[in-house]
Amino acid sequence: MRTVSEWYNSTFSSTAVFNHREDERIFRTRFKRTWFYIFLAVNVLVFIASSLGFGANEYHYFILNLILVNLVAVIGLNLLVGFTGLLSLGHAAFMGVGAYTSALLITEAGFPLVISMIIAGLVAAMAGLIVGIPSLRIKGFYLMVATLAFQMVIDYGVIHWESLTRGVRGIELPTPDFFGLALKEQKSYFVFLFAVTIVMMWGAKNLTRSKIGRAFVAIRDNDISAEIIGIPIFPYKLLAFSVSAFYAGVAGALFASLMRTAIPEDYHMMNSIMLLAMVIIGGMGRLTGSIFGVIFMTMVPVLLDNFFSYLSIVYDPNITIMLGPAKEFVYGGLIVLFIIFEPEGMFAIWMRIRDYFRIWPLPYISE
């Protein structure tokens, strides 16, 4: 029998690494791995409780689904903006390409969601390849303007190409399915989304710790020396664009199935800016940061909404009319404050908290 302290030590304090492969794991220490399993277990418990009628309801799961869908798109955008250093203002358009592709495949050809989602990603990746071509000659803000042009084209296209997209009425989608198994409730769709998000997150993390991800960062940090040490710049830029667009396309397909409709205003330029804001607030070039950024940007408007409707019940029903615009101000203000006081994003805050607790009870004994 192991004692409690032995168990505690081997679970939470062991940081030993015995070979290079262990050294490059995602959760390098037992401590991190344990917390990840705890996180999964909590998810399962919440799900079971919710099926029995306690705790999280359908609305809560809808918000969680929204977070997961945005997360897939933001991981992709972070690979492009944060890792490769190429700005894009056309990411909602890539989502739109994915959403409409998937919607058409499901309604017209009866594809299952998983297949249509992958095809949607590939179609968006092709679009990304084309949008990435100007990056041969231009970078920075000029490239951003080029992606903006793509956004404009898609904005116009989805409204006016009525024979394909049905214009402003949009395409209605049936209940999402997993190879015939209907995901009717929000929480069953959540299970599917959760699995997809974990795979996409894991894939992105794998890319960043392989030669491909290192080449992306090399192009961001110093493209001239990157080329001189043997990295072909342009193919890698195109790869970054198409991978990023693939993520956006998959996210678009998932979003359309979540909303049960594909309509033009969901993929408008404003959404591109929101996605970019999520990357910046989370922390550029940090996948963990993206999780925080997405949660922050999705939850703040929801919480403000709930707060104001609470106020209207407690004090005065008219308060919502008065404070309606205030919501936007608070939201915008929070974003501005974040960028002023924490330009490196929420990831920097997370790092500080982690460093504090790493040496926690005895801070004067440094490493």
Which runs of consecutive H residues, i.e. helices, occur in the chain?
4-8, 20-23, 30-51, 58-78, 91-109, 113-131, 141-160, 162-165, 186-208, 211-221, 223-228, 233-259, 269-282, 287-314, 319-341, 346-358
Q: What are phi and psi of 176, to 5 degrees?
A: -65, 150
Cβ proximity of 158 and 100 under 8 Å = yes
Name which position in 118, 144, 148, 217 contacts another protein (CB under 8 A). 217
Residue 212 or 300: which CB sits closer to another protein?
A: 212
Should residue 206 be labelled a site residue for another protein when binding is judged by CB under 8 A?
Answer: yes
* Interaction between residue 220 and another protein (CB under 8 A): yes
Q: Does 230 bind another protein (CB under 8 A)?
A: yes
What is the spatial distance between Cα 69 and Cα 271, in angstroms, rounded to a whole number? Answer: 13
Q: Which is nearer to another protein, 227 or 342 (CB)?
A: 227
Burial of 223 (0-12, 13-18, 19+ CB in 10 A): middle
Cβ atoms 246, 253 nearer than 8 A: no
Give 4 or 224: the residue with its C-beta nearer to another protein. Answer: 224
Among 191, 231, 273, 277, binds another protein (CB under 8 A): 231
- Residue 211 as a binder of another protein (CB under 8 A): the answer is yes
Q: Is 15 in the site for another protein (CB under 8 A)?
A: no
Q: In this chain, which stretch among 53-61, 144-152, 217-225, 356-364 interacts with another protein, using CB under 8 A? A: 217-225
Stretch that binds another protein, among 7-15, 143-151, 152-160, 203-211 (CB under 8 A): 203-211
**Residue 122 within binding range of another protein, rule CB under 8 A:** no
Q: What is the rounded distance in angstroms from the CA atom of residue 343 to the CA atom of residue 336?
A: 10
Residue from 77, 239, 248, 250 in contact with another protein (CB under 8 A): 239
How far is it, in rounded angstroms, from Cα 187 to Cα 139? Answer: 42
- Does position 52 bind another protein by CB under 8 A? no
221, 316, 328, 355: which one binds another protein (CB under 8 A): 221
Q: List all residues 6 or more positions away from 24 whose beta carbon is below 8 Å from its beta carbon.
A: 209
* Binding track, positions 306-325, relative to another protein; x by CB under 8 A: --------------------
DSSP string, 72-88: HHHHHHHIIIIIS----
- The answer to whether 139 contacts another protein (rule: CB under 8 A) is no
x-marked contacts with another protein along 273-312 as a string, rule CB under 8 A: ------------x---------------------------
One-letter amino acid for residue 96 of the chain: G
Of 17-25, 38-46, 188-196, 339-347: span binding another protein (CB under 8 A): 17-25
Greatest CA separation for the chain = 71
Tokens representing residue 239 in the block? 């790869």
Nearest to another protein of 24, 355 (CB atom)? 24
Q: Please report how close the Cβ of residue 20 comes to another protein at its closest, in angstroms.
A: 5
117 binds another protein (CB under 8 A): no
Q: Which of 10, 13, 210, 309 touches another protein by CB under 8 A?
A: 210
Task: List beta partners, residue 273.
Answer: none
Residues in a beta bridge with 262: 171
Two tokens, residue 245: 């667009």
The answer to whether 50 and 187 are in contact (CB under 8 A) is yes
For another protein, the closer of residues 93 and 218 by Cβ is 218
Task: For residue 232, state whether it binds another protein (rule: CB under 8 A).
Answer: yes
Q: Which of 21, 163, 361, 366 binds another protein (CB under 8 A)?
A: 21
Q: If you write DSSP's letter for every residue of 292-314 in order, what string do you get?
A: HHHHHHHHHHHHHHHHHHHHHHH
Residues at the interface with another protein (CB under 8 A): 20-21, 24, 203, 206-207, 210-215, 217-218, 220-222, 224-233, 239, 285
